[in-house]
C-alpha cells in the first residue's frame, strides 16, 4: 500500500456538483501513511453538509478493503492575506440579510444556526442587528457574557450555539441610540474580542437594509456566503434586489434566496392562502440566476417557538422540515462554492 494506490482509489470518488473525481479536481490536499493508518486531508469546507458527508462516506467505501485505519480531515485555503485573517478559526461566515425589515430575517438566521448545530456542526450566532437585537429572546438566552483576565469576552451558549448580541451586554429593553461610527467600533470589538473558538460556521444576523453595519462587515470580515431573505410580495423583492447588488459590489458570494411567509395553511379548514403573494421569491431567484433555497410557510408555530426560545427547526412537522431542507441546501451551496474555489487555486 502506497500513496499512489490510495490516489488511484480516490479517482473513483466523484464530486456530484463539480462533475469529476476528487484527484482530478485537486481536492486531495495530502495523503500520509503511518504504520496501519492512512490519513487523508480533503479540500472540503462545509462540515456536516449532506453532500460533503456523502463524499466522505464514498472515500471510506473506496478504501474499505484496505488493511488500515482511515483518518479523514478537511481543510480549505481561503486565500486570505495575513491582514485579512479576522476570525481565522471560523471556517465559514454566513451573513443573513434582507433588503427591508419585517420579512423574518432573524427567524431565518436563528433556525439556520440551530439547524447547522443539529447536523453536528460547531456554530456561532452573531446578532449584528444592533438596533433590534432580538436573537437572544428567540433562543431563550439571558445569560450575560463573562470576561477573561485579559478582557476577552466569553460568549454564552444555548441550544448548542455560541451566541453574541449587544442585547446581552446592554440589558433587556435598553435602547441603542448610537451613531454609525460607534456602531462600527462596537461590532468590530464583538467579533475580534470574543473567544469564539473553533467554529465550522458563524451565522451573522444583519440588520435590514444596506447601511453602515453591512458595509463594516463586508469590508472587515471574510464572509464566505450570504443568504437573502424575502417574502413573496413585490415590495420585499424590490428591496431584496438592493441587498443582492450590495453583496455583488463587494464580491461576496450569495448562497441563495429563501422565501419566508410563503403561504398560510389554515389550521381549521386545511386550505392554503397566499397572503403575501405567491412564488415571488422563486421567480426572483430565477430572474437573478441565483439558487432558490426554499419556501418557509407562514405558520403561527414559528412565532410561538421563537417567543418561547425554542427554534422550530428542532421540532417535527412540515414547517420544521421546510427549515431543515433550507439548512441543508445552504450548507451544500457553501460547500460547492468552497470546493470550486479550491479547484481554481
Beta bridge partners of 294: 258
| 3 state DSSP class of 24 | helix
CB 284 within 8 A of CB 243: no
Alpha carbon distance, N-terminus to C-terminus of the chain = 30
Residue 237 contacts by C-beta under 8 Å, 6 or more apart in sequence?
230, 280, 281, 284
The dihedral built from the CA positions of residue 208, 213, 217 and 219, taken in this order, carries a sign that is positive
Residue 74 contacts by C-beta under 8 Å, 6 or more apart in sequence?
41, 42, 43, 44, 45, 47, 52, 56
| 3 state DSSP class of 90 | strand
CB 166 within 8 A of CB 177: no
Residue 315 contacts by C-beta under 8 Å, 6 or more apart in sequence?
301, 305
| 3 state DSSP class of 29 | strand
The grid coordinates listed for 11 are 479517482
Kindly list the distances between the CA atom of residue 212 and the CA atoms of 134, 158, 159, 168, in Å, as whole numbers in the listed order: 19, 29, 30, 21
Q: Which residues participate in the annotated binding site for ATP? A: 99-106
Q: Which residues participate in the annotated binding site? A: 99-106
Amino acid at each position: 500500500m502506497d500513496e499512489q494506490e490510495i490516489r488511484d482509489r480516490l479517482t473513483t470518488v466523484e464530486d456530484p456538483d463539480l462533475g469529476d473525481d476528487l484527484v482530478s479536481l485537486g481536492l486531495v490536499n495530502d495523503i500520509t501513511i503511518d504504520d496501519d493508518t492512512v490519513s487523508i486531508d480533503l479540500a472540503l469546507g462545509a462540515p456536516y453538509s449532506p453532500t460533503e458527508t456523502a463524499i466522505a462516506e464514498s472515500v471510506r467505501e473506496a478504501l474499505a478493503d484496505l488493511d488500515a485505519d482511515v483518518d479523514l480531515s478537511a481543510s480549505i485555503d481561503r486565500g486570505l492575506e495575513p491582514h485579512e485573517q479576522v476570525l481565522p478559526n471560523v471556517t465559514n461566515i454566513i451573513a443573513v440579510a434582507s433588503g427591508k425589515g419585517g420579512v423574518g430575517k432573524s427567524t431565518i438566521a436563528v433556525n439556520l444556526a440551530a439547524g447547522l448545530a443539529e447536523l453536528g456542526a460547531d456554530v456561532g450566532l452573531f446578532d449584528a442587528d444592533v438596533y433590534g437585537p432580538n436573537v437572544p429572546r428567540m433562543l431563550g438566552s439571558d445569560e450575560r457574557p463573562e470576561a477573561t483576565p485579559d478582557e476577552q469576552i466569553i460568549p454564552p451558549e444555548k441550544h448548542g450555539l455560541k451566541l453574541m448580541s449587544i442585547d446581552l451586554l446592554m440589558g433587556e429593553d435598553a435602547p441603542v441610540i448610537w451613531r454609525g461610527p460607534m456602531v462600527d467600533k462596537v461590532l468590530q470589538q464583538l467579533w475580534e474580542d470574543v473567544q469564539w473558538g473553533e467554529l465550522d460556521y458563524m451565522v451573522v444576523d444583519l440588520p435590514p437594509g444596506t447601511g453602515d453595519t453591512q458595509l463594516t462587515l463586508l469590508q472587515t470580515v471574510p464572509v464566505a456566503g450570504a443568504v437573502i431573505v424575502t417574502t413573496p410580495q413585490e415590495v420585499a423583492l424590490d428591496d431584496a434586489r438592493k441587498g443582492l447588488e450590495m453583496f455583488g459590489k463587494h464580491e461576496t458570494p450569495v448562497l441563495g434566496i429563501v422565501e419566508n411567509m410563503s403561504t398560510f395553511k389554515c389550521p381549521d379548514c386545511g386550505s392554503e392562502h397566499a397572503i403575501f403573494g405567491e412564488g415571488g421569491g422563486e421567480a426572483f431567484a430565477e430572474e437573478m440566476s441565483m439558487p432558490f433555497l426554499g419556501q418557509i410557510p407562514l405558520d403561527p408555530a414559528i412565532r410561538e417557538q421563537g417567543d418561547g426560545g425554542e427554534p422550530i427547526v428542532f421540532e417535527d412537522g412540515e414547517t420544521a422540515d421546510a427549515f431543515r431542507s433550507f439548512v441543508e441546501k445552504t450548507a451544500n451551496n457553501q460547500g460547492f462554492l468552497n470546493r470550486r474555489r479550491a479547484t481554481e487555486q
